[in-house]
Chain A
Amino acid sequence: MTESIHPIASLLAALARGITGVQVLWAGCEPDERQRIYFANHTSHLDFVVLWSALPSEIRAHARPIAARDYWEETSLRRYLAERVCKAVLVERGTVAKSKSHDEAKFVGRSLIEDLTAALGERNSLILFPEGTRGNGEKIGEFRGGLYHLGLRRPDVELVPAFLENMNRILPKGEYLPVPMLSLLTFGKPIQVESHESKDVFLERAREAVSSLRRIGPA
């Protein structure tokens, strides 16, 4: 994978920053080039671009979003944006749930984690929205298990929670014209999977880490 940033990606990032006037607060950690998984709440198509644009450019070149294959491969424009422009890691969504047997689910899940681990590699950081789909902004949905498995597999990678505010009001699900309200992005303190921590406990803790970063009251 090349390390240069696609010019369209830079353009989109500048545009997203202009529309959302995003104000970034590194509350729990400093920007760092070390490998990290940034995980955030998800309410808008702009989420990834805004979060990505908030990273300093040398970090940005190595930060890849994780996106749902079924959505981003639907049209050729989406595929181009996801694969070429944003260098997204496309993963199957919901296939684990759809799998017929327990064993099959386990197999699909494992190959997904393999893909993500491979994408992480030695140098890259990932941007992940563990809810798996865009919410309505009122409540953060339950987290999927990928974050937990990645955290177990790669304990050296920091898991950085982030909270994006107001994005659901700027460009909510189902709308295509943005309203230029201001958004706030807060990065929290990195967490990691504790030894003997069960998946559910960790995921709930991760969700709490994200929602505790809210700065304006619930919209």
Chain B
Amino acid sequence: MMTAIHDSILMWLFGGVLCLLVVLTIVGSALKRSYNSNVSRVTIDNFNAQIAAWWKMCVVQALSLVFGRIGSLVLFGILSFLAMREYLTLVPTRRGDHRTLFWSFFVIMPLQYCVLGFHWYVLLAIMIPILACVFIPTSIAVAGDTAHFVERAGKIQFGLMVCGYCLSHAAALLQLKIPGFGGHSARLLLYLGLVVQMNDLLQYVWGKLIGKHKIAWRVSPDKTWEGFLGGMVSATALGTLLWWATPFTPLQSAGLSFLICILGFAGGVVMSAIKRDIGIKDFGGVIERRGGILDRIDSLCFAAPIFFHVVRYYFAPWP
């Protein structure tokens, strides 16, 4: 994707993000040095952890630009693999799932990325939702252990959906060929990432400022209606302002940003619910050094495939 490097709009956008991050990092370390009673330690530490996470995401984004088409597939393939590994480490499986898990890791996930590399869009769309959905329960049934059968098939299928299907669609944005938009599809990934992250941040900020009425407080105590609506409106506004970098009109950009915000919220809530179910606070908490990918992709995972399919349907006509 040499064109990505020569895409000046992308570079401006990306440069802007980096400058913002540098500023935030400086602010974060200044806050850390002057711990005081006005701002709680936990809030500052959370802030710094979030900035560190954004740096990592920027590195992934930058690498996917530098590596080009195949390289970015490999990069996202590795991310999918690590995310799946993290998920299955913490979600209990049984002895009878062993071979199914082996197939999931070493056949289904790599196939998903191969299919993407060859631009077989139909297969990309149906492989995990349909083919794996048939294969996994069959394979567990053949292994012979019927205890908790539906539950086990569901767990593995969901892992493949989130870590394989959803994440591969973030990489799929880089492969889109939109008429009149040339090789600038890398901007779409940046657009998606920016809106999702801004939505997360603004939901948090609005929630802290005026949050009163909790949504799903059993799942994540921080989420409030005020935060959700405030974050959604302001992140949609920011997304709309980025229309010039995308193939969308301002109105289309507003609609897509709105969609991304709702899906970002959905992803966050669902991943929190899974963490509650397993009984952990963060995926990265138990498995310290190698954990935390699922904590990072939570709000991206539902937004990526739907954003991809909407954009492909309306802006990149068949084939």
Which A residues contact B (CB, under 8 angstroms)? 21, 23, 136, 166, 168-169, 172, 175, 177-182, 184, 215-217, 219
Contacts and interface: CB of A to CB of B under 8 A. Distances in A.
A177 B102 contact: yes
B105 A217 contact: no
B102 A184 contact: no
B147 to A, nearest CB: 13
Contacts of A166: 89
Interface string B63-95: 000000000000000000100011011101101
B92 A219 contact: yes
Contact of B86 (A179, A182, A215, A216): A182
A175 B95 CA distance: 10
B98 A172 contact: yes
B234 to A, nearest CB: 38
A50 to B, nearest CB: 15
Contact of A23 (B90, B99, B287): B287
B85 A182 contact: yes
A179 B81 CA distance: 11
Nearest to B86: A182
Contact of B93 (A21, A169, A216): A169
B289 A23 contact: yes
Q: 3 smallest A-B Cβ distances: which pairs?
A: A182-B89, A179-B101, A181-B89
Contacts of B101: 179, 181
A3 to B, nearest CB: 31
A23 B286 CA distance: 10
Nearest to B289: A23
Contacts of B279: 217
Contacts of A21: 85, 290
B288 interface: yes
Contacts of B291: 182
A180 B286 contact: no
Contacts of B102: 177-179
